[in-house]
């Protein structure tokens, strides 16, 4: 009878432990093992519990859908095609990347992911061989030199840890731009415990987007993304990222030539001092037109550039055709490559078209200008004359770039591919609520049984 207090103590302890476990556990917590900072990430589905509307519209954008588990609804490529550029089968595809301009595919071997060597071009609806950089044959399977983790995952996933090659969430989730959210959630929404890019200083705000919309490497040169950077973190972007110095990435005047480099363009233009990415782009909603812009057509520019509102006055040389052109046609021409054959990405320097520069650098092929993209049957000399530009003499030297850093070809093992890709639906998200309780209660029950056994043994050994 005198052992009753122990029994009561065991019950109280069990109840207390189960309470603690239940309130601290979250269904979306990163998978074991815990890799330090990763435990500070909770995943977008957790944010959705309190920010349901934001989550719902965010789910319709490309960011969270960048990396998804392959299924019949998201594979766009035609696997019945006889195209020789298609070098693998549908069965090999476990994950899909993107699908707006192009889609690439990943295959999983022993928990490692590799990029397969054909890409589907959405616009032209055909396959292109995808081989870039140095390749070393690996057991005869060349694609095994393109491990997804070290080469790509840092920009397509959230909470990525290169050391363990694991991520918290596939796709660009809330915390990619807001930083790890565990403290904000634990404080039931304390606004000082989460990064709001709108409240950061101008450069740090741009860095939030620049971490992925740039080309370069981390300081070790092994990873093409800023290892160790996260919004609000102690390491700044310029300490964790060395921008590309590869001449193949730039036109001779410094304008970027390849995709995911919008930041490097923007930095060269006059907008870098006052017009940030998030002034023009929405982050959580599809926006008003393509590519998540806040406003439509010329309104996007005229909101600030009232002087150019009368296009006939701004471009008198083609006053008859003002209804056929937009600001972006001349100030954001498509001069960056997405697929090898095609330029689909818009320039973000916002510089005025400059045919004289095309002449100085050896022609439209060497240095495109917006006028001759439309007026392809005319020469840069014609366009320069229309604009009243002087025709430059001799060949200009290219804007100098520092020596390129070596690109690592080392194959780093990838492990532990975890969660499903793409954002779960809102109903799935809210259904995850009760699971926490179930989980907490199961652990509490186990602790209770264990406590009871210990108590029984103690009792036996005491008597
Ligand atoms: C691509 C970057 C990015 C992602 C991803 C992102 N946000 Fe944001 N968020 C921003 C920016 C930038 C702002 C500042 C206001 C703005 O530009 O809309 C912001 C503002 C907010 C705000 C403040 C209120 C408001 O709308 O201005 C909340 C709340 C928020 N985000 C929640 C979320 C949640 C929840 C998710 C995921 C479902 C998410 N964000 C994903 C960039 C992002
Ligand atoms: C438990 C509910 C809850 C969860 C879960 C939650 N938030 Fe919040 N969040 C809030 C509340 C409440 C506010 C408003 C705070 C205020 O106005 O003082 C807020 C505000 C914000 C803001 C605006 C901060 C500012 O500067 O005004 C951002 C950004 C944000 N949340 C992002 C997130 C992200 C990202 C996640 C997931 C990692 C998340 N929230 C999860 C409740 C939550
Ligand atoms: C973690 C990496 C990452 C971060 C951070 C990030 N992006 Fe992105 N962004 C991507 C990827 C990857 C895509 C391509 C998604 C796809 O096509 O599936 C993309 C696509 C876009 C697009 C094109 C969307 C469309 O509909 O065409 C815009 C615009 C964009 N990002 C703007 C931003 C802005 C602005 C920020 C900062 C507030 C930002 N991004 C932060 C990785 C990122
Ligand atoms: C430094 C960040 C970064 C790295 C590293 C990176 N990407 Fe991306 N990727 C982006 C961004 C940002 C976009 C969207 C904007 C753009 O393309 O201009 C994108 C777009 C894509 C798209 C097109 C998506 C669509 O909807 O059309 C594919 C496919 C893709 N990346 C595959 C890869 C592969 C494969 C690797 C590794 C070999 C890789 N990326 C490495 C940032 C990155
Ligand atoms: C002055 C406004 C403005 C600013 C600033 C701006 N963008 Fe854009 N961006 C646009 C417009 C306009 C488009 C094209 C939209 C369309 O096709 O209708 C675009 C397109 C894009 C796209 C789609 C792919 C492409 O390049 O064609 C991405 C990604 C993007 N922007 C990212 C960024 C990032 C990252 C920053 C900051 C470094 C940024 N933008 C700054 C206006 C802007
Ligand atoms: C938030 C206000 C704002 C928006 C929106 C904006 N701009 Fe600007 N723009 C500026 C400022 C400020 C400057 C630099 C000061 C100046 O020269 O007037 C500038 C400069 C320019 C220049 C001169 C660049 C040079 O190198 O000489 C061009 C061209 C330009 N913007 C085009 C555009 C286009 C095209 C858009 C729409 C896609 C746009 N701007 C949207 C504020 C804006
Ligand atoms: C047909 C091509 C074309 C179109 C369309 C066009 N521009 Fe321009 N823009 C130019 C050229 C060329 C210049 C350089 C003029 C000069 O140096 O005198 C220029 C210069 C500018 C400048 C810099 C002015 C300065 O004083 O330095 C701004 C700002 C600008 N444009 C904004 C716009 C806006 C906003 C729109 C849409 C309403 C627009 N442009 C449409 C060709 C165009
Ligand atoms: C988006 C495509 C586009 C861009 C960019 C563009 N133009 Fe045009 N331009 C047109 C169209 C369309 C017409 C109308 C002529 C027609 O219908 O054939 C035109 C007409 C002209 C005309 C009238 C003579 C003619 O050939 O009919 C001149 C001169 C001209 N553009 C010069 C320029 C210059 C210089 C630039 C660069 C600053 C430029 N254009 C940029 C599409 C463009």
* Tens-digit pLDDT profile for residues 231-278: 999 999 999 999 998 888 999 999 999 999 999 999 999 999 999 999
Q: Is the CB of 325 under 6 A from ligand 7?
A: yes
Could you give phi then psi for residue 291, rounded to 5 degrees? 65, 35
Distance 131 CA to ligand 3 centre (A): 24
13 confidence band (pLDDT: 50, 70, 90): low
Distance 266 CA to ligand 6 centre (A): 11
Nearest CA to ligand 2 atom 21: 191
Distance 387 CA to ligand 7 centre (A): 11
Nearest CA to ligand 8 atom 37: 371
Q: Output the furthest CA–CA distance in the chain (Å, rounded).
A: 107
Q: What are the angstrom distances between the C-alpha of 454 and each of 6, 229, 447, 451?
A: 11, 47, 10, 5
> Cα 373 vs. chain centroid, distance in angstroms?
29
- Give the residue from 179, 171, 148, 174 showing the smallest Cα distance to 416: 148
Structure tokens at 192: 């000082």
Q: Is the CB of 177 under 6 A from ligand 1?
A: yes
Structure tokens at 302: 């005229």
Q: How far apart are CA 260 and CA 264, in angstroms?
A: 9
pLDDT in tens, 192-214: 999 999 999 999 999 999 999 99
Please state whether the peptide bond connecting residue 33 to the residue before it is cis, i.e. omega within 30 degrees of 0.
yes
More confident residue, 430 or 282: 282
Q: How far apart are CA 322 and CA 418, in angstroms?
A: 53
98 confidence band (pLDDT: 50, 70, 90): very high
Nearest-atom index, ligand 2, CA of 174: 35
pLDDT in tens, 268-313: 999 999 999 999 999 999 988 889 999 999 999 999 999 999 999 9
Q: How far apart are CA 384 and CA 356, in angstroms?
A: 6
Tokens 């959705």 correspond to 48
Q: What are the angstrom distances between the C-alpha of 186 and each of 42, 194, 345, 351, 434?
A: 10, 11, 41, 46, 18
Q: Is the pLDDT of residue 66 over 60?
A: yes
For the chain, report the end-to-end CA distance as a whole number of angstroms.
12
CB neighbours of residue 348 within 10 Å: 25
Question: Which stretch of 74-83, 377-386, 445-454 has the lowest confidence by average pLDDT?
Answer: 445-454
Distance 132 CA to ligand 2 centre (A): 42
Q: How far apart are CA 127 and CA 66, in angstroms?
A: 19
264 CB-side CA count, 13 A: 25
Q: Is the CB of 236 under 6 A from ligand 4?
A: no
Cβ-contact 31, 419 below 8 angstroms: yes
pLDDT in tens, 341-377: 677 899 999 999 999 999 999 999 999 999 999 999 9
Q: Is the CB of 331 under 6 A from ligand 6?
A: yes
Q: Which long-range contacts (CB under 8 A, 24 or more apart) does 189-194 make?
A: 189/50
pLDDT in tens, 107-156: 998 888 999 989 999 989 999 887 654 444 455 566 777 899 999 999 99
Q: Give pLDDT, residue 455.
A: 75
Could you give phi then psi for residue 436, rounded to 5 degrees? -60, -45
């Amino acid at each position: 009878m005198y052992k009753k207090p122990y029994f009561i103590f065991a019950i109280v302890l069990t109840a207390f432990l189960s309470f603690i476990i239940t309130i601290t556990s979250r269904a979306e917590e990163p998978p074991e093992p815990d890799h330090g900072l990763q435990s500070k990430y909770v995943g977008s589905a957790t944010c959705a519990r309190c920010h349901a509307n934001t989550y719902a519209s965010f789910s319709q954008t490309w960011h969270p859908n960048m990396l998804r588990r392959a299924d019949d609804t998201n594979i766009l490529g035609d696997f019945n095609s006889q195209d020789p550029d298609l070098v693998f089968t549908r069965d090999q595809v476990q994950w899909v990347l993107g699908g707006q301009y192009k889609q690439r595919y990943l295959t999983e071997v022993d928990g490692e992911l590799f990029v397969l060597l054909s890409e589907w071009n959405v616009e032209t609806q055909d396959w292109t061989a995808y081989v870039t950089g140095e390749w070393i044959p690996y057991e005869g399977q060349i694609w095994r030199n393109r491990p997804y983790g070290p080469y790509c995952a840092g920009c397509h996933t959230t909470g990525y840890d290169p050391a363990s090659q694991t991520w918290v969430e596939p796709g660009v989730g809330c915390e990619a731009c807001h930083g790890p959210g565990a403290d904000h959630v634990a404080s039931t929404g304390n606004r000082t415990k989460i990064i709001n890019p709108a409240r950061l200083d101008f450069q740090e705000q741009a860095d939030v987007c620049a971490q992925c919309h740039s080309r370069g490497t981390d300081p070790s040169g092994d990873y093409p993304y800023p290892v160790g950077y996260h919004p609000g973190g102690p390491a700044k972007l310029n300490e964790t990222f060395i921008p590309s110095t590869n001449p193949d990435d730039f036109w001779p005047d410094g304008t970027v030539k390849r995709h995911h480099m919008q930041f490097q363009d923007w930095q060269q233009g006059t907008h870098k001092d006052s017009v940030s990415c998030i002034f023009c782009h929405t982050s959580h909603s599809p926006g008003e037109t393509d590519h998540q812009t806040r406003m439509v057509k010329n309104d996007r520019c005229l909101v600030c550039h009232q002087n150019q509102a009368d296009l006939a006055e701004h471009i008198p040389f083609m006053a008859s055709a003002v209804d056929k052109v937009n600001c972006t046609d001349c100030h954001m021409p498509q001069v960056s490559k997405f697929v090898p054959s095609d330029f689909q990405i818009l320039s973000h320097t916002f510089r005025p078209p400059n045919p004289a520069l095309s002449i100085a650098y050896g022609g439209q092929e060497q240095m495109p200008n917006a006028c001759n993209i439309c007026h392809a049957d005319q020469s840069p000399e014609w366009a320069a004359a229309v604009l009243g530009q002087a025709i430059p003499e001799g060949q200009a030297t290219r804007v100098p770039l520092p020596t390129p850093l070596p690109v690592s070809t080392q194959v780093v093992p990838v492990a532990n591919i975890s969660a499903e890709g793409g954002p779960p639906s809102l109903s799935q998200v809210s259904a995850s609520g009760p699971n926490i309780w179930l989980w907490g209660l199961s652990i509490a029950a186990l602790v209770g049984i264990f406590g009871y056994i210990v108590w029984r043994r103690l009792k036996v050994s005491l008597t």
